[in-house]
Amino acid sequence: MKAEDIFKDLIVRTVARLMVPFILLFGLYVLLHGHASPGGGFQAGVIIAAGFILMSLAFNMDELKRRVPLTFRLITGSFGPINYVVIGIACILSGGYFLQYGVVPLPSLAPADVSAVLISAVEIGIGITVLGMVTGMILSMTGGSDDHT
């Protein structure tokens, strides 16, 4: 390896180490403010996955595959739909329609606050699912062996 290649590699890794925490923080901000502003689960999941992908490109894909194993990707991929259905059924069992958030009786919360909490819970589920799916797609496209294949 040439000295200039090592220098380029050092710059890419240093910039990635500096940028990833801000990318993850921005993804968390988009996720937590998605119920009241533009953004939400899908956008936050893609932003957070982009942070993981940047780190894997700066270092190597095997590290991402080690840190985000197949079982984790399968669990996160199914979390959002299960979360969505459970909250929807809780609304029905509380006497409302599917995802009619305000009818769910949560102690010491007004119906508007219940709606904000449950909308945030749905958005978090979507974000977790998108994070798992986008990371899994990137790992699938890069090839290589997986821990369960």
pLDDT at 35: 66
Residue 75 has phi, psi (to 5 degrees) of -65, -45
Q: How many domains does the chain have?
A: 1
HSE-CB for 44 with a 13 A CA cutoff: 25
Q: pLDDT tens, 29-52?
A: 998 887 677 778 899 999 999 998
Residue 11 lies in a domain: yes
Residue 135 lies in a domain: yes
pLDDT at 40: 84
pLDDT at 117: 86
Name 113's Cβ contacts closer than 8 Å, sequence gap at least 6.
106
Residue 148 lies in a domain: no
Residue 39 lies in a domain: yes
pLDDT at 19: 95
pLDDT at 60: 79
Residue 9 lies in a domain: yes
pLDDT-flagged residues of the chain (< 70) = 1-8, 35, 144-149
* Boundaries of domain holding 17: 3-142
Q: pLDDT tens, 19-29?
A: 999 999 999 99
Q: Helices 111-142 and 3-32, interaxial angle, to 10°?
A: 150
Residue 126 lies in a domain: yes
Nearest-10 Cα torsion for 135, 140, 145, 149: 90
pLDDT at 47: 95
Q: How many angstroms separate the CA atoms of 15 and 21, rounded?
A: 11
Q: How many angstroms separate the CA atoms of 126 and 140, rounded?
A: 21
